[in-house]
Amino acid sequence: MNDSLGHGVGDRVLQDCAERLKGCVRQGDLVARVGGDQFALLVHESDGRGAEAAARRALDAISVPCAVDGLQFTLTGSVGIALFPADGSDGDMLMRHAESAMKRAKQSGRSGFRFHQPQADADLRQRMRLDHAMRQALASHRFRLHYQPQIDLVSGRIIGAEALIRWRDPEMGEVSPAQFIPVAEESGFIIAIGDWVLGQAVSQAARWRDGGMPVPVSVNVSALQFQQADFNQRVAEVLAEHQLPGALLELELTESILVHDADEALARLSQLSQLGVRLAIDDFGTGYSSLAYLKRFPIERLKIDRSFVKGVPADDSDAAIVRAIVQLAKALDMKVIAEGVETEGQRAFLLDIGCDEFQGFLYAPALDALSFEERMRGATARGGQRPRLSLIKG
């Protein structure tokens, strides 16, 4: 509001909000602005029900439209509640706990409230610990990349590799990406991690290329990373640094990235496509329902999410969804790859319906770079000019 309408308007809206909050508490209660657009209310209630009622009064008060300089605004808010003495014996502790609860309320959607929960604080401490450890891991070179082979369903040959980050911490041991990636996205550190992954993956692809194995490498891109103004420039710089053709790099994007700002996304994707970089939609079918973006953007490959692959061929609904995605990809002249393939029955079903490629534990988990290279060289020696990966038995 300050940026678009000026600080004067913003200040008057805050003053109006303060008056409304003062009007919904009783004499002896306290309303104070504690910074930015945050207010603290000290209310005297006998129990949690009274505190909840006070929170609802505050939310109702600020939700009434207000007018400033002929402009009408509708405000929303989020409330965090901490109770004395159960949630803290002093003001600082109560404020910390109330702010933590407020953040949870905000994550759940505007115009809501949450009580302080000790477990939520424990979760917050764990996230802070992970965030700190991640930053140390990047600085200390503890992250590493593994590469999961991507297989042509008809020939059985390796046609690419997905770069997947791994982390072994000295104290916590092996930390799953499912644990630390959400924390990195929340804190914004995913930008630094994503940049590291991009650089390492391109460097490895260049080494394989120089060794006579030009394997395209796929890299996952977070929404926050993609939205950085210099992201395309960074991709171009990394490719130039390693003299790697764009065709040996694939960027995997989620559907949410494309619909956030369609026009801006189209411009950026077009620039990446001009570099020769291949573009894929990851976890296709789990995000937004609109398919209009598929015909607008220079997408070359759809990745069927493992949640759909898991049930085929026995689950009729999953089978129908997977079949529909394959048909859609074919109609749009796109390749389609299934992830999370673990059984021969799944592979046979995908082959039968015309899916192009797959990856999953049926053939190989993600491998360190040396193991992947050895597998590639062994497959090449056995199978001719192109690397081929044989089914692992037992």
Within 10 angstroms of residue 199's Cβ, the number of other Cβ atoms is 16
Point out the domain boundary residue: 116, 144, 176. Answer: 116
Asked if 340 and 249 sit in the same domain, the reply is yes
Point out the domain boundary residue: 116, 151, 167. Answer: 116
Residue 45 binned pLDDT confidence (cut-offs 50, 70, 90): confident
Q: Which candidate, 347, 221, 341, places its Cα nearest to that of 272?
A: 221
> What is the model's pLDDT at position 249?
99
The owner of tokens 């650089």 is 199
11, part of any domain: yes
365, part of any domain: yes
> Rounded to 5 degrees, what are φ and ψ at 155?
-90, -20
pLDDT tens track for 270-309: 999 999 999 999 988 776 556 777 888 999 999 999 999 9
Residue 162 binned pLDDT confidence (cut-offs 50, 70, 90): very high
Average the pLDDT over 339-352 and give the result.
97
Average the pLDDT over 52-65 and give the result.
91
Our separate counts of H helices and E strands in the chain read 16, 16
Between CA 180 and CA 131 the distance in angstroms is 8
Asked if 173 and 204 sit in the same domain, the reply is yes
Between CA 303 and CA 283 the distance in angstroms is 6
282, part of any domain: yes
Asked if 195 and 280 sit in the same domain, the reply is yes
Between CA 219 and CA 303 the distance in angstroms is 13
393, part of any domain: no
Residue 363 is part of a domain; what is its CATH number?
3.20.20.450
Asked if 186 and 279 sit in the same domain, the reply is yes
Between CA 50 and CA 44 the distance in angstroms is 9
316, part of any domain: yes
> What is the model's pLDDT at position 292?
75
Asked if 104 and 161 sit in the same domain, the reply is no
Q: Which candidate, 267, 273, 225, 213, places its Cα nearest to that of 247?
A: 273
Domain of 208, in residue numbers: 128-383
Query: Do the beta carbons of residue 364 and residue 375 sit within 8 Å?
Result: yes
Sign of CA dihedral 50, 56, 59, 64: negative
Asked if 81 and 109 sit in the same domain, the reply is yes
3-class DSSP state of 78: strand
Contacts of 232 (CB under 8 A, 6+ apart): 268, 271, 272, 275
Asked if 142 and 245 sit in the same domain, the reply is yes
Between CA 131 and CA 135 the distance in angstroms is 6
Check whether 330 has a pLDDT greater than 50.
yes
Average the pLDDT over 315-338 and give the result.
96
227, part of any domain: yes
Asked if 262 and 285 sit in the same domain, the reply is yes
140, part of any domain: yes
Point out the domain boundary residue: 89, 116, 143. Answer: 116
Average the pLDDT over 321-344 and give the result.
96
> What is the model's pLDDT at position 127?
86
Based on the structure, what is the number of domains in the chain? 2
Percent of the chain with pLDDT over 70: 93
> What is the model's pLDDT at position 392?
39
pLDDT tens track for 224-275: 999 999 999 999 999 999 999 999 999 999 988 887 788 899 999 999 999 9
Asked if 97 and 191 sit in the same domain, the reply is no
Between CA 304 and CA 284 the distance in angstroms is 5
Q: Where are the alpha helices (DSSP H) in the chain?
A: 2-5, 7-23, 48-63, 91-107, 118-139, 177-187, 190-210, 223-226, 231-241, 255-260, 262-274, 292-296, 306-309, 316-331, 344-353, 369-383
